[in-house]
Amino acid sequence: MRNRKWLLEASQIVLQYFRWLFLLIFCIILYAKFIEPNWIEIKTLQLTLPHLPAEFHGYRIVQISDIHRDRWMTVPRLRRIVHLVNQQHPDLVAITGI
């Protein structure tokens, strides 16, 4: 009887761990599918370069990074990115980390 009680307690503990593991995996999948792909950050950085030629004063560069050109990149997502880039009125667009 004592061995059976121990086995029952151990199986309940293992079951609890699997529930938490399932919940963690589920949350990771939700984050990877819905949050991270739609997370677009726009950071503005103003540089002062003393020897920059006058024709480059006010020059705007937009860098796009980590687009992940795969099955998750849909046409509406790409249009949204292009729209956000165009709102910055760039003189140059640099695409890195595709």
> What residues form DSSP beta bridges with 95?
64
Encoding tokens for residue 27? 């949350």
Residues 6+ apart with CB under 8 A from 69: 98
* Burial tier of 69 (Cβ tally within 10 Å: 0-12, 13-18, 19+): exposed
Is residue 10 pLDDT above 80, yes or no?
A: yes
pLDDT tens track for 43-87:
999 988 999 999 999 999 999 988 877 777 888 888 999 999 999
- Provide mean pLDDT across the span 91-97: 91
